[in-house]
Amino acid sequence: MSFSMDDLKKLRTETGARVMDAKKALEEAQGDFAKAKQLVEEKGLARAEKTVDRETKAGFIANYVHNNGQVASLVELVCETDFVAQNQEFRDLGREIAMQVSAMNPADVKELLDQEFIRDASQTIGKLIKSLSGKIGEKIEVSRFARFAIGDEQK
């Protein structure tokens, strides 16, 4: 074994990878943490791509209201099962996306998915969704959203 247990724990914490996936990535990367992290992310995205054709029947409507009370948003984040819809990571992702909608005011879902995440410019919203989808093993997508701001015209 050319890596420490601390590296394994750190990789799991940073990527959300399962133990065996993190271990295999570290072994394949010969202990190079950065390379292992990249491998886990690539494999997670590949796993997410396998779920594209599945039907989404469950979900969560996430909300965000800015602390000044002037801007708010609702996001419908959907998945395949109620089990995942109840998952805290899934719900946290929904709230992060709702915050993104409030802050960046995307025109549509495609624009939202292409936007850099406001908390980490190295990620896009689409990549965040694919990452969690790969980790959980279910299809996850934003089906719609609404943004409200004081003084905006009704559409």
Q: What is the pTM of this model?
A: 0.71
Residue 49 has pLDDT above 80, yes or no: no
Residue 155 lies in a domain: no
Q: What are phi and psi of 64, to 5 degrees?
A: -150, 130
Helix ranges restricted to H, 67-149: 82-85, 88-104, 109-114, 125-136
Domain count for the chain: 2
Residue 23 lies in a domain: yes
Same domain, 62 and 44: no
Same domain, 62 and 40: no
| Per-residue model confidence as pLDDT tens digits over 93-135 | 999 999 999 999 999 999 999 999 999 998 899 999 988 888 8
